[in-house]
Amino acid sequence: MTLPPLRPSAQAIDDLLPQTECRQCGFDGCAAYAQAVADGLAPINRCAPGGARGIAELAKATGLPFVALDPEYGTEMPFARAQIRAEECIGCSWCVRACPTDAIGGSPKHLHAVLEARCTGCSLCAPACPMDCIDFVEVGREWTREDARKAKRHHEEAWSRRIRQAALEDARLARRREAASNVPAEAAAAAAAAAKKNFMADILAQARARSRQ
């Protein structure tokens, strides 16, 4: 007799994911992928950083059969952190904007550096770099559940900070635009949100293209 699939919550599934926020799965982060799996809208074999072990854990949690990682969504690789070649960095800050965990420090027109404790190896910074001066160096150990917990916290902190900054910037731009052309604040905020979404979509598309080369 075949048992029906289990119905774990999205939170329970999210707790099993590596929290690298790489978006290779095709969703807007680990939480979004977890929700899709919980809703039966996505298979359990799209998380490349989690690899075979992660798929096995998801299979056990959901009651679904184990299936190999779908190569369309990446390849299982050793844990590696980003490293910026300082002599080539022009301080454009595109990598800072792409990083989901605030793992890159530096200000515009100044050299940038990777904060190792925050880097998940998601590789979103690489396609964002116009100088192609970001390498990935293997750490020599596996990504752990503790790493995942820290990464989730760092991502939440980064996301909260960016929401605050975006709100302040949107309000400033809205006031200026409304004064100049009577543009409603809601329209200015929507335009800024759309620009941010398109920026991340372009980065993800470039990352996928590189992984297939």
Residues 172 and 194 placed together within one structural domain of the fold: no
Asked if 174 and 84 sit in the same domain, the reply is yes
- Within-domain flag for 31: yes
In a domain, 2, yes or no: no
Name the domain boundary from 27, 57, 73.
Answer: 73
Q: Which amino acid is at 31?
A: A
pLDDT tens for 38-63 read 999 999 999 999 999 999 999 999 99
Q: How many domains is the chain partitioned into structurally? A: 3
Q: Which domain holds residue 195?
A: 185-212
Of 73, 98, 117, the residue that ends a domain is 73
User: Are 103 and 62 contained in the same domain?
Assistant: no
Half-sphere exposure of 96 (CA within 13 A, CB side): 16
124 in the same domain as 90 = yes
Which pLDDT score is estimated for 189?
67
Is residue 160 one of the residues assigned to a domain?
A: yes
- pLDDT attached to residue 210: 63
Establish if 111 belongs to a structural domain: yes
CA neighbor of 200 nearest in space, from 57, 15, 22: 22
- The per-residue pLDDT for range 168-177, each reduced to its tens digit, is 988 898 888 8
Residue 1 lies in a domain: no
Residue 68 is assigned to a structural domain of this protein: yes
pTM above 0.85, yes or no: no
Domain match, 132 and 193 both: no
Q: Hey, which bits of the chain come out as E strands?
A: 80-84, 104-105, 113-114, 134-138
Check whether 95 has a pLDDT greater than 90. yes
Can you give the pLDDT at residue 209? 65
CATH assignment of the domain containing 47: 1.10.15
The answer to whether residue 61 is domain-embedded is yes
The pLDDT assigned to 1 comes to 40
In tens, the pLDDT along 181-211 reads 755 656 666 776 776 677 777 777 766 666 5
- Whole-angstrom CA distances from 201 to 108, 122, 136, 166 are 22, 15, 22, 18
Answer yes or no: do 165 and 103 share one domain.
Answer: yes
Whether residue 3 is contained in a domain is answered as no
Mark whether 108 and 149 lie in a shared domain. Answer: yes
Q: pLDDT category, 164, cuts 50, 70, 90?
A: very high
> Do residues 176 and 99 share a domain?
yes
